[in-house]
Amino acid sequence: MLPSRTVKGLSEAIARAQARLLSLQAPDGHWVGELEADTTITAEYLLLGHLMDRVNHRREEKAVRYLRRRQRADGGFDLFPGGPTNLSATIKAYFAMKMAGVPVSDPAMVRARERILEMGGPVKANVFTKIQLALFGEYDWNGVPAMPVEIMLLPQRFFFNLYEVSYWSRTVIVPLLVIMDRKPVKWLPREQSLDELWPEPRERASLRFPRMPKPFSWRGLLWKSFFIAVDDALKIWERFSPRPFRRRALEAARLWLEERLMVTGGLGGIYPAMANSILAMRLLGYPDDHPLMVGQLKEVEALAVENEEELHYQPCPSPVWDTSLAMNALLESGCAPDDPALRRAAEWLLERQVLVPGDWQARRPWVQPGGWAFQYANDFYPDLDDSAMVLMALEKVRGLDADRVRTAKERGLGWFLGMQGADGGWASFDTDNNQLYLNNIPFADHGALLDPSTEDLTGRGLELMGTVGYGRDFEPARRALAFIRRTQRHDGPWFGRWGVNYIYGTWSVFRGLAAIGESFEHEYVQRAVRWLELHQNSDGGWGETCESYDQPGLAGRGPSTPSQTAWALLALLAAGRARTDAVERGIRHLLDTQRPDGGWDDPFWNGTGFPGVFMLQYHLYAKYFPLWALGAFRRALDG
């Protein structure tokens, strides 16, 4: 049917959305929106200030107001709005507020304390929380997993080494190896201790690690039991062995850190790694006024989001990601390819291509650099997702120096193709980083130690290859298609590693399938189409809760959001479903929920750091993804 009712007002809505997005562009051409995380980042920042005796009481008060606002009605703190109370987040917030001077009799503290006790207290918290407590003498270092600094010396052929884990794990682990070797403690006055959080006296509490994997499997149980035994052995070895290589390992860690702290952007470009590096360098003898220390502290402060009343911290900025997505949305919604705003954005991106080696070369020494990072600067860790989005934007924009753009695209595409995994898929930062049994070591209780190939990244790879002119007979495309078919969920959708969740993954895959020329008549594709249409909400939109990572039955279920509605629409439009009732209702939902200023609001969180344990809210998603969907719909009708 011809969706005439929906067409009415479509062009005006697109024009308003374009104007709104363009109004948010920085003078130098880039876009960046807030990347909001849960309260743990802000709580950890406050505790870092106390560890370093660098407390700004005025800013601390503003951070406490932020924590109070984010507290749940049951007294706890969640990992995303609307989610359940998380014990570790609640302990960190309670501790930070107590260190900031909030009395334990304060109603917010009483409610948080009651919730912590109900949930089992510090022994039930995650490993990173236990390390944070141990730094203040509030948890026994013996209850923290053993991570000997000699790990720095393990060769790549060994079953566990630094390059068997993801970049984000690596940048967190290396400074932690120094910290856990020295096991420093900043002892607190008795009135600041956390004795009140222990359901039983801490000297009687068992600090043993849980053996039951979640979700349960016999293989997981065997691996957990094995690694717990290894942990016990390592603790005995650390205590009684002469450890002849310890000094050499500490020096290796120092050199590794120095090399990466010399570049701008902070260690790994992410907050936990930056904070750990500051503490590690202090323990290695670097004074606070050393240029490397000053640089890390400056990068941490650049993550602040502050207004008159509140202060909180982001895990990292997202300028390259936001800019490349904004460009693609504007281009596909009808902006002229040589528009000055798009040319400025492209020039900004060209300046940020990473042309130096990084950690990824440990697995791909023959591949030449050429990718892009997520942040303003992160030369050691460019990523495949950003690189693909940037390359697709550069392929579409016009009016630039042709030779410069061609060279950048050749380098970027060469790097991207060179990073394809042996399984045919693409990961985010590394290649063949897929020894999943390592997620059972006690240190990895967050379940995100690794960076394996994922469906959304592989879909992005297909879309990139199709955008630059390759077809499904291209050998890397054939391998990627096989990965996509192999990893599809039984009822149709694909998992979303970096966005929530199956709606995001399915959008990424469908865009790739359409670009590479895969037939949408295949049964496996039609199964995914049916899944999307069956999960449309009664209001015409789509939504999916972050809880779908822990409860697969919630896949595709949740209140409608602009971003997730846009992803579903972009997927269905890629499948050639423009003239269907489902798409018309989805477009109508976006038109009806658009704000007068041309933007939309995402009421629920839409991004993923670590599935189920670290969720994100990209504040610009609701500005460019709905625009992209409306533009793709108009192109399909015109087409």
Q: Taking 60 as the threshold, does the pLDDT of residue 227 lie above it?
A: yes
User: Is residue 374 pLDDT above 90, yes or no?
Assistant: yes
Task: Report the amino acid identity of residue 373.
Answer: A
Task: Give yes or no for a contact between 401 and 297, defined as CB atoms under 8 angstroms apart.
Answer: no
Q: Residue 3 pLDDT > 60, yes or no?
A: no
Quote the strand ranges of 229-387, DSSP E.
304-306, 311-313
Stretch 559-569: mean pLDDT: 98
Across 173-190, average pLDDT = 95
User: What CA–CA distance (Å, rounded) separates 162 from 249?
Assistant: 13
Structural contact between residues 48 and 275, judged by C-beta atoms closer than 8 angstroms: yes
DSSP string, 185-248: --PPPGGGS-GGG-SS-GGGS--PPP---SS--HHHHHHHHHHHHHHHHHHHHHHHS--TTHHH
Question: For the residues 497-503, what does the mean pLDDT come to?
Answer: 96
* Rounded mean pLDDT, 254-262: 97
User: What class, spelled out in words, does domain 38-199+209-313 have in CATH?
Assistant: mainly alpha
pLDDT on residue 504: 98
Amino acid at 367: V
The structure tokens listed for 336 are: 């002229």
Which one, of 301, 302, 260, lies nearest residue 277 by Cα?
260
Distance CA 428, CA 167 (A): 9
Q: Is 16 a residue whose pLDDT tops 80?
A: yes
Residue 5 pLDDT > 60, yes or no?
Answer: no
- Per-residue pLDDT, averaged over 48-65, amounts to 96
Q: What is the pLDDT of residue 1?
A: 44
Residue 7, pLDDT score: 63
Angle formed by the axes of helices 246-261 and 271-283, nearest 10°: 130
Q: Is the pLDDT of residue 74 over 80?
A: yes
Farthest CA pair distance, the chain: 79
Q: How large a percentage of the chain has pLDDT more than 70? A: 98
State pLDDT tens for residues 299-342.
Answer: 999 999 999 999 999 999 999 999 999 999 999 999 999 999 99
If you average pLDDT over residues 288-299, what whole number do you get? 96
Token pair listed for 389 = 């989005």
The whole-chain average pLDDT of the chain stands at 94
Choose the weakest-confidence range: 141-145, 234-238, 365-369, 399-403.
234-238
- Positive or negative: CA dihedral 364, 368, 372, 377: positive
Q: Is the pLDDT of residue 622 over 80?
A: yes
pLDDT(6) > 90: no
Bridge partners (DSSP) of residue 35 are 618
DSSP of 363-417: T-TTSPP--B-SSS--TT--BHHHHHHHHHHHHH--SS-HHHHHHHHHHHHHHHH
What is the total residue count of the chain?
A: 639
Q: What is the mean pLDDT of residues 487-512?
A: 97
More confident residue, 209 or 337: 337
**How far, in Å, CA of 379 to CA of 390, rounded?**
16
Of the pLDDT bands very low, low, confident and very high (cuts 50, 70, 90), residue 2 is very low
565-621 per-position pLDDT tens digit: 999 999 999 999 999 999 999 999 999 999 999 999 998 999 999 998 999 999 999
Who wins on pLDDT, 520 or 438? Answer: 520
Residue 218 pLDDT grade (very low, low, confident, very high; cuts 50, 70, 90)? confident
Task: Specify the pLDDT at position 229.
Answer: 84
How far is 325 from 460, CA to CA, in rounded Å? 13
Buried b (16+ CB within 10 A) or exposed e, 414-436: ebbbbbbbebbbbbbbbbbbbee
**Which ranges in the chain are annotated with CATH 1.50.10.20?**
4-35+316-430+448-638, 38-199+209-313
The top-level CATH class assigned to 4-35+316-430+448-638 is mainly alpha
> Quick check: bond before 215 cis, omega within 30?
yes
The residues assigned a catalytic role are 385
